[in-house]
A = this chain, B = another copy of it.
Amino acid sequence: MAQYQFPISILIADDHRLITDGLATILGAEKDISEIYTADNGRDAVELVMQHAIDCVIMDVDMPILNGLEATKQIKQQKPNVKIIVVSMLSDAAIVNKLLRAGADAFINKESGKAELLKAINVVINGKKYISPEISAYLFTRLSGPKADQEETVERQLTPRELEIIRHIADGLTNQEIAGKLFLSTVTVDTHRKNMLAKLNLKNTASLVRYAAEHGLLK
């Protein structure tokens, strides 16, 4: 590992003793790692980070008392410089987003090997982010899968003119303003809006705007 005040100290937070022990053994063999702390729940993890000079936390998602997400939030709030590597199962992928927003620095799988763990530590200590390709694939699918389908179906459903109009609507323009801007009659703008509601099976303008936003149709 490179440019940092070596050796570094690490906290392993996981409620499975076998895992903490295993990781501690692996990491104990690394010359750049001095201290290794362990915690079997989120609350203890947060406390340990507050009390000791810990550089990096290897955090399980599913822990008693305080889960990995909450623990990450609290740690990052108090000590933003502490790096957090989340060890998740693919089944936890649904909360990857929340963890990202909570400030997690890396994601690796429980299926990841020693090499990937060490790589992740190396990367985050150097101030960068790391996500294992397996977890990326999940994010990837969320970003591309739905939107790809949607764009194919939706952008075929909405005509160029309609797209233009929904964007103006979402911008907060009134029919009058849109009509002025596009040199149309207000009723025409309204017709387009109504046509969109009908073809997308939506109830009202609010849901239309939401739909547009969630389907990446804006801008």
| Chain A residues engaging chain B, CB cutoff 8 angstroms | 97, 100-104, 119, 123, 128-133, 135-137, 139-141, 143-144, 147-148, 151, 169-174, 202-207, 209-210, 212-214, 216, 218
Could you list 22 A-B pairs, sorted by A, with CB under 8 Å?
A100-B140, A100-B148, A101-B151, A103-B148, A123-B133, A129-B136, A129-B137, A129-B141, A130-B137, A131-B133, A136-B136, A170-B206, A170-B209, A172-B204, A172-B206, A172-B210, A174-B204, A205-B205, A206-B209, A209-B209, A210-B210, A214-B218
State whether A210 touches B207 (Cβ < 8 A). no
State whether A101 touches B202 (Cβ < 8 A). no
A56 to chain B, nearest CB (A): 16
Q: A129-B137, A130-B136, A206-B206 are in contact. List 5 more A-B contacts (CB 8 A).
A: A130-B137, A130-B140, A133-B133, A170-B210, A207-B209
State whether A101 touches B136 (Cβ < 8 A). no
State whether B137 touches A128 (Cβ < 8 A). yes
List, in ascending order, chain B residues with CB within 8 A of A128's CB: 137
List, in ascending order, chain B residues with CB within 8 A of A207's CB: 170-172, 209
Task: Kindly state the separation between the CA atoms of A202 and B155 in the bound complex, as whole angstroms.
Answer: 27
List, in ascending order, chain B residues with CB within 8 A of A132's CB: 133
State whether B214 touches A148 (Cβ < 8 A). no
Evaluate whether A139 and B137 lie within 8 angstroms (CB atoms) in the complex, with A169-B206, A214-B213 already known: no
List, in ascending order, chain B residues with CB within 8 A of A147's CB: 100-101
State whether B206 touches A144 (Cβ < 8 A). no
List, in ascending order, chain B residues with CB within 8 A of A104's CB: 144
List, in ascending order, chain B residues with CB within 8 A of A133's CB: 119, 123, 130-133, 136
